[in-house]
Structure 1
Amino acid sequence: MTGLRNLRVLYAMRFFGSLIPAYVIERLYWEERGMSIQMVVYTEMIFAVTVVLLELPTGIIADRWSRKRMLVLASLLGCFEFLILLYADSFRHFALAVFLAAVGRSAGSGAENALLYDSLKAAGREESFEQVLGRLNAVDIASTMLAAMCGSVLAGRFGYGLNYWISLASSIAALFFTFMLVEPAASGEAEREKGMPASASIAGSVRFFRSNRGVLPVMLSGMVTGASLNFIDEFWQLYLDRVGIPAAAFGLFSASIFLLRLPGNILAYKLKSRLGSRLLLTAVTAVLAAGFLYLSMARNASGLASIFLICLAGGLIEPLAAGYLHHRIGSSMRATLDSFQSLGLNVALIAAGLGFGYFSSRWDVFGGYGFIGMLCLAFGVYFAFASSKI
């Protein structure tokens, strides 16, 4: 019963945690308050560096202390983030908000998937992890779409600030639901691990990767494609602005790019059983490479079709990469190893962000997307070669 109760609570958490109308006008709100593209990239790097430094420690803490408590901490920091953004008027304010968001992201990333898997395991349903994770992501997407549609209308009538007040209220609601989670009962192995030093968890992680060499290319694929998709989420507003799409259409466009991720999240588990994770991830990488390269060259409204295609393929990424990992690890290191995945994703985000920022400063957002396309193309060649050897 505990496992099934946690599932219901996680659905509610995802809904309110994603009901954030601030995101649909985020880049415009930041630009209005003096944040240039280069400054936004700097905050993205602050986010990524912070996550890289904290992912592994917070994953270990979640495994040894409490997944629920780490999720409560993550939700609490999310509330503070929006409170700061409401009054932000300089780079340091935005940097502080992003730093808190990064700490919250680190605290919750490994803990949520670990709590989800162990809750399913307690109910005897661990084989449905990809299916349930996909459905959670679908709730996430539906909530994001609702926020985008409402947010664009509200911003047009009342200004950008109201969207941030509503986002703060929704974050507080998500915090309320985190208190309702119940920590799944730990296995005997997990209880023994809690008494061991943190260095033992790191050593155990290294041993895991050495004995499961097929996991590394799949994890790298999730990292690179996930980091690349981030640049659609963060900069599509600027792309639409540059190709002449009015801000009044932003809500509909935002809802569309999230709607296109629904099929991948919902059907990933079925496609995996028929085609396999590696083939699907190879196809996703190829689609992303072609899509980003087209965005860099077609500097007009036809590039919107590429964004739609990238988002359609991107819906497969998280269920496939997370499921491949969690089915191969034990409860005692579940959050720790999931944090390794998130840590690597943010390392990729830092590296990609440096190139994106450099090329965007020279050729605007089009140059940045061209760099991401070349990055996906190079990784796709590696992944096709590496996965064929396993």
Structure 2
Amino acid sequence: MAERRLQQQIRLFCAFRVLSGGLSCCVPVIVLFWQKHGLSLTDVTLLQAIFCLLVVVLEVPSGYAADRLGRKRVILLGSIASALGAAIYVIAHGWSWFLASEVCFAFGISMVSGANSAWLYDLLLENGQESRYEELWGRSQAYSMGGYAVLSVCGGVLYELHDRAPFWLGGILMGLAVLCAVCLEGDAPDEHRSEERGGAAPASMVEILRRNLLSNRSLVRLLVGSALVFAATQVGLWFYQPYMVLCGVRPRWFGLVFASFHVVAGAASHRSAKLDSWFDRLPFGAGPLLVLAASHLGMGIAAGMAGLPFMYLQQVVRGWLVVSLSRRVNEVVASSERATLLSFVSIGNRGAYGLVLPLAGMAGDCWGLPAAMSVIGSVVLVVAVGIACCGRTWVCCPKVARPADAVE
């Protein structure tokens, strides 16, 4: 591929990542929207639990499909499903409608997860520029976070005009994401790649997982560290709105606050290599967990306006983890198995989050938000110190043999 064509594909990929997050304009007001249409907090929690479960169930099969059928096809299918979910929200009334929409989103997110980063890495690998992967993935992540920031502000304003206006905008943007997915360069399914190399038929999904979990210790450590960091980051998500109410922030400002979250996360994605260098003496996961522990403890102890700045530490980790983890996983797995294993990493992340979330919710109901945040911060601190005490062996990530690549 000529350099000009490569740059066009990179720009198109960045545009796709921004547009596919079109419904981020609804995030600052989504709980208000659900409650306005008859959902209690219990219903909201159950809805998200079902969503999380579906994503976990679909993650590895979708990544396997991306490896076997081609990344572009799976990305396109996921984009269409997400656009359908956005369209349902435009007309949704009540639990069953919201559930149908969340099912579409779970399918769409699962399809795109892993396949998008694998598509970019293979695009660069084919052009001998794989060393630019972290830079370009971080750039796309920064653009998407910046887009989320703008949309978050728009969402708060649009919601005051009409409660469905944010969903109208989100649906249009996600429809444009489908068009971007159509224009991405198609990649050959794994069977075609194997035939070109003279290799054997692709391994089954179960065999891929079994072999890597038993023999690739670096991947296992990344899987565990990522799950811990992701759970500790996401557990505070449903606390943000009630915490801001506790701090006296008016709901009209929620969109601006969420927008600033995305700006900070995007900046962290762009500077992920620098953040890695600050904590390169610690095992993978220990550094982000220490930052998260400080964040949760600060929010719990301050319990007021002084606690708001600590929320931004969680956004730093959110943007940092995506790029750092993706690079590390790409370094230790074969190209033909990359999307499958990235999806398995995502399963571990969401599984840990799904297990921790109900416990955090119960803590918030029983003890109140400040005490719950302090308890969460204390637990995260203990885990971070435990990982740090394991020493350098936890983060050791040497490149392992990659038979699917070696036959080239």
Q: Same fold (TM over 0.5)?
A: yes
Per the alignment, in what secondary structure is the counterpart of residue 389 of structure 1?
A: helix
Contact (CA 8 Å) 2:20, 2:174: kept in 1 or not?
A: yes
- Label 1:162 to 1:274 Cα distance change in 2 as closer, same or farther (>3 A): closer
Tell me which residue corresponds to 1:132: 136
Instruction: State the shift of 1:367 in Å.
Output: 5.5
Tell me which residue corresponds to 1:257: 261
1:121-147 residue CA offsets vs partner (Å, 9 max, x unmatched): 112111222211111110111101111
Structure 1: runs of 5+ lacking an equivalent: none
Alignment of 1:260-271 (within 5 A): 260-271=264-275
Tell me which residue corresponds to 1:47: 51
Tell me which residue corresponds to 2:113: 109
Distance in 2, Cα, partners of 1:375 & 1:47 = 26
1:55-108 residue CA offsets vs partner (Å, 9 max, x unmatched): 111111110012111111111111121222223332232222222211111111
Tell me which residue corresponds to 2:124: 120
Match of 1:219 among 220, 223, 226: 223
Per the alignment, in what secondary structure is the counterpart of residue 183 of structure 2?
A: coil
Contact (CA 8 Å) 2:285, 2:384: kept in 1 or not?
A: no
Match of 1:195 among 191, 195, 201: 201
- Label 1:235 to 1:99 Cα distance change in 2 as closer, same or farther (>3 A): farther
Pick which of 216-225 and 366-375 moved more: 366-375
Instruction: State the shift of 1:194 in Å.
Output: 8.4
Contact (CA 8 Å) 2:222, 2:284: kept in 1 or not?
A: no
- Label 1:264 to 1:163 Cα distance change in 2 as closer, same or farther (>3 A): same
1:137-184 residue CA offsets vs partner (Å, 9 max, x unmatched): 10111101111122222223x132111111111110111110011123
2:69 equivalent to 1:65: yes
2:69 equivalent to 1:32: no
Match of 2:181 among 178, 183, 190: 178
Contact (CA 8 Å) 1:355, 1:368: kept in 2 or not?
A: no
Distance in 2, Cα, partners of 1:277 & 1:5 = 38
1:247 maps to a residue whose letter is: P
Instruction: State the shift of 1:283 in Å.
Output: 1.8
Distance in 2, Cα, partners of 1:277 & 1:74 = 39
Contact (CA 8 Å) 2:9, 2:185: kept in 1 or not?
A: yes
2:340 equivalent to 1:342: no
Tell me which residue corresponds to 1:145: 149
Give the alignment's TM-score, normalised by structure 2: 0.87
Match of 1:239 among 235, 240, 243: 243
Contact (CA 8 Å) 1:59, 1:111: kept in 2 or not?
A: yes
- Label 1:154 to 1:225 Cα distance change in 2 as closer, same or farther (>3 A): same
Q: How many residues align?
A: 387
Contact (CA 8 Å) 1:293, 1:370: kept in 2 or not?
A: yes
Distance in 2, Cα, partners of 1:189 & 1:228 = 41
2:18 maps to a residue whose letter is: F
- Label 1:364 to 1:276 Cα distance change in 2 as closer, same or farther (>3 A): same
Instruction: State the shift of 1:345 in Å.
Output: 0.7
Per the alignment, in what secondary structure is the counterpart of residue 172 of structure 1?
A: helix
2:324 equivalent to 1:323: no
Tell me which residue corresponds to 2:303: 299
- Label 1:33 to 1:102 Cα distance change in 2 as closer, same or farther (>3 A): same
1:82 maps to a residue whose letter is: A
1:228-256 residue CA offsets vs partner (Å, 9 max, x unmatched): 32234444223212322101211221121
Instruction: State the shift of 1:187 in Å.
Output: 7.6
Distance in 1, Cα, partners of 2:322 & 2:131 = 16
Q: Considering only aligned residues, what root-mean-square deviation do their CA atoms show, in Å?
A: 2.5
Contact (CA 8 Å) 2:70, 2:188: kept in 1 or not?
A: no
Structure 2: runs of 5+ lacking an equivalent: 395-408
2:12 maps to a residue whose letter is: V
Percent sequence identity is 25
Give the alignment's TM-score, normalised by structure 1: 0.91
1:15-53 residue CA offsets vs partner (Å, 9 max, x unmatched): 212243222211221222233333222222112211121
Tell me which residue corresponds to 1:81: 85
Per the alignment, in what secondary structure is the counterpart of residue 217 of structure 2?
A: coil
